[in-house]
Chains A and B, each alone.
Chain A
Amino acid sequence: MELRNKRRAGAVGLAVLALVATGCRGGDSGGEAGGVDAPGVTSEPCPEAVNEDNGCIYLGTISDLTQGPFAPLGVPITEAQEAFWARVNEEGGIGGYDIDVTEYVRDNLYNPETHAQVYNEIEPDVLALAQTLGSPTTLAILSQMENNDVVGAPASWTSLWGFEDNILESGASYCVEGMNVVDYFVENEGIASVMAVGYPGDFGGDAAAGAEIAAGERNIDFTNVETAPGQEAQAGAISQIVRENPDLVLLSVGPTETAVIVGQAAAQGYTGQFVGTAPTWNPALLQSPAAPALEQLFVHSGPWGSFSSDTDGHAAMREAIGEVDQPNDGYTSGWAWSYPLKAALEEWLEGDYDKTRAGLVEAIGNLETVDFEGMLPEEAGDRTGENDIFKQTVLSDVDPEAAAGLTIREDFFTGPTAEAYEFEGACFEG
């Protein structure tokens, strides 16, 4: 009997300890923080808080930071987002809270399984995701995000995000880029054929789908060529470009593959037009053997202006990140992607919403505009309509004198195909 009592006392003790431990978790403030009852929100100040009197909102970051193919973008995206939220904190924070994006940063190695694993690790301790890098990786956690009412800013531009309430996308998708690029070059250069060359999946596939839709509308020839990552894996694509000699090649590959394809196709006599979607460019390409061909034949299409563009947002970004070894549009993207989440947190904390994650999702659905400080038009943040797809693209020329090697050729524009197109789902469904 005595033994049983001891066991019972031990069990009660363990239960109490468990309750105390649960109550102590940073993620469960239980209404302690000004009525906010959401994981990742505490009345305690952030570690190394700028505003000691503020509570803390923890945002997670899942990025490609070391070994994955997009680490050259993931690292500056993450650095820019740290700078963005540091600036928010220096300006007083949001609704009595500082924002911490440094405590829960995880590397996804650009692997969906790793992405899901680290998401599960940090989910109980964060309110939302300041960054979830990649389309296939984010797809791996999307249903969990919906179940947990977790919202996230993506680091990718697939057209699927326009239909997902938990993804706070910014800028036009690859699909819209594909449409606008074809329209622009039909109208301005009179092209009669387009070839999409890209990775298999929702990066290359989404851009190719947009180009195909526009080519159909414009009644011009369209070819799609999938190519694998890797410098020495481009022989087939190069051979196809040189042999078919399309007027326009729309590239959706990594920067190194861009250099190989453009450089070697030009060396084999191709003189047509290359356009690369957002992630194809890296200013380091100007030091590659393909630089002369890139300067002559390559135009970049993107969701916003490059690093050195003249907007308040770009200027704030440059000032916040300070001197960097190599200006890179990963910084630009990380900064631009952060504005909608900032607007959402303001709306949630200052508006009449449940102070839960579900309340944050509801607040996001009511955003009519987002102040991108000029990096994007305010209507790019509209999430109220039935069809709130942003359809404007920026084209940039290669410019060795510009900070990240690009200067704007055509500022935000929408071609007639995208303008008329009724988006009813993702352009690419793999």
Chain B
Amino acid sequence: MEQLLESLVRGLGTGSVYALLALAFVIIYKATTVISFAQPAFMLTGAVITSYVTPAIGVLAITGLSFFVSVTIAAILTAGVALVVERLAIRPMVGKAVFTVAIITIGIDIAVRVVVNGFIGLGARPIGFPWGLDRVELLGLDVQIRHLVMMGTVAVVVAALFWFFQRTRWGLAMRAAAFDQEAAMTQGVSVGGVFALSWGMAGALAAIAGSLLATGAGVDRQLWLVALVALPAIILGGLDSLEGAVVGGLAVGVVESLVGTYQRDFAPWLGDNFAVVSPYVLMLVVLLAKPYGIFGTAEVRRV
């Protein structure tokens, strides 16, 4: 039982990071109807910035403060990079086929990652996470502090996001633009501004996710691959649902962790690496029952 619960906590920890990444994908999708494949690059960018900023502000001696300040700075700077990319490469493509824009985001992803790789150097960069792999006992369970930090961070971010969308003018504008762009424009909503804001927010979320992920072993050039796990999370949660992104991310994290822990005992014929495949299996199972994901909006076509 203890092992099961500990595996569950690990899954919720990494699932929280997947949730942040999934939120980033969904925010852009809702605003622009494009899946941005540039998110892995922004995730890497944020983690690399954190790895440079944390030691630079190491004078802040309070445990964890320098890390969290660094993550905040990384989120802001990465949002800036995302805004620039959106203005230069995406905005001119408004009105073009969604497929074309999605392909452009793949190019952006590769280009940004090649540049960022140059700042990583020849090995993994330490992220300056104050607790390393330390563990604490919580309700009788042996739990890594970093997983608790991941869960706490995503709780704060999700709360802030929901407040933003429900209570602010820009949040309302984004919801209006996501619902009907032309109608929103007639009401004075700047759709261009909504596009830019969605990219900026997604960049910031990806930066936070990357920084948290790197607390395990630092930032290396392959860290970006983790962002791909967010894709089954958003599909099973619902491509246009913020709630779905959170639930999908957590579900993927938990399933991955439980399969990693138990599959070799209960289903060894599935091979050694089935945990890696499990998010996609989960996605398929959910889609069979709910073709638009758990929280996705069903598309209605009149013929």
Contacts and interface: CB of A to CB of B under 8 A. Distances in A.
A236 B226 contact: no
B243 interface: no
Contact of A228 (B124, B144, B273): B273
B213 A231 contact: yes
A325 B119 CA distance: 12
A235 B10 contact: yes
Nearest to B14: A232
B215 interface: yes
B98 to A, nearest CB: 26
Given A235-B261, A282-B122, A326-B121, A229 B222 contact: yes
B271 A226 contact: yes
A226 B274 CA distance: 10
Contacts of A264: 133, 144, 216
A254 B273 CA distance: 16
B200 interface: no
Given A67-B110, A268-B142, A231 B123 contact: no
A282 B261 contact: no
Nearest to A266: B133
Contacts of A330: 122
A359 interface: no
A14 interface: no
B272 interface: yes
B276 A233 contact: yes
A392 interface: no
Contacts of A67: 110, 113-114, 117, 221
A259 B273 contact: no
A256 B133 contact: no
Interface in B1-32: 7, 10, 14
A83 interface: no
Interface string A135-172: 00000000000000000000000000000000000000
Interface in B201-217: 213, 215-217
A260 B217 contact: yes
A289 B146 CA distance: 11
Contacts of B129: 289
Given A67-B110, A236-B264, A72 B276 contact: no
Interface size on A, as a range, is 35 or more
A292 to B, nearest CB: 8
A99 interface: no
A66 interface: yes
B142 A225 contact: no
A232 B256 contact: yes
Contacts of B132: 263, 289
B133 A267 contact: yes
Given A233-B276, A235-B275, A289 B133 contact: yes
A283 B123 contact: yes
A288 B217 contact: yes
B185 interface: no
Contacts of A260: 216-217
A243 B174 CA distance: 50
A77 to B, nearest CB: 11
Contacts of B276: 228, 230, 233
Given A226-B273, A236-B261, A285 B133 contact: no
A69 to B, nearest CB: 6
Contacts of A173: none
Interface string A215-239: 0000000000111111111011101
B218 A284 contact: yes
A255 interface: yes
B257 interface: yes
Interface string A243-284: 000000000001111011001100110000000000000111
Contacts of A225: 272
B223 interface: yes
B225 interface: yes
Given A228-B273, A235-B275, A289-B216, A71 B123 contact: no
B263 interface: yes
B222 A236 contact: no
Interface string B90-115: 00000000000000000000100110
B46 interface: no
Given A67-B221, A225-B272, A255 B256 contact: no
B220 A72 contact: yes
A276 to B, nearest CB: 14
Contacts of A259: 124, 216-218
A39 interface: no
Given A256-B124, A283-B123, A328-B123, A235 B217 contact: no
A236 B133 contact: no
Most chain B CB neighbours (cut-off 10 Å) among A236, A263, A268: A236
A66 B223 CA distance: 14
B260 interface: yes
A240 interface: yes
B244 interface: no
Interface in B269-286: 271-276
A168 B216 CA distance: 38
A227 B261 CA distance: 13
Given A230-B225, A230-B226, A236-B264, A290 B273 contact: no
A343 interface: no
Most chain A CB neighbours (cut-off 10 Å) among B129, B226, B256, B260: B260
A288 B124 contact: yes
A256 B256 contact: no
Contacts of A69: 221-222
Give the top 7 A-B pairs by smallest Cβ distance, nearest first. Answer: A284-B123, A235-B260, A289-B132, A236-B260, A226-B272, A259-B217, A287-B126
Interface of A: 66-67, 69, 71-72, 75-76, 200, 225-233, 235-237, 239-240, 254-257, 259-260, 263-264, 267-268, 282-285, 287-290, 293, 325-326, 328, 330
Interface of B: 7, 10, 14, 110, 113-114, 117, 121-126, 129, 132-135, 142, 144, 213, 215-218, 220-223, 225-226, 229, 256-257, 259-261, 263-264, 271-276
21 contacts: A71-B117, A200-B273, A226-B272, A230-B276, A231-B223, A232-B229, A236-B263, A236-B272, A240-B264, A254-B220, A256-B124, A260-B216, A264-B133, A264-B144, A282-B122, A284-B122, A284-B218, A287-B125, A289-B126, A289-B218, A293-B133
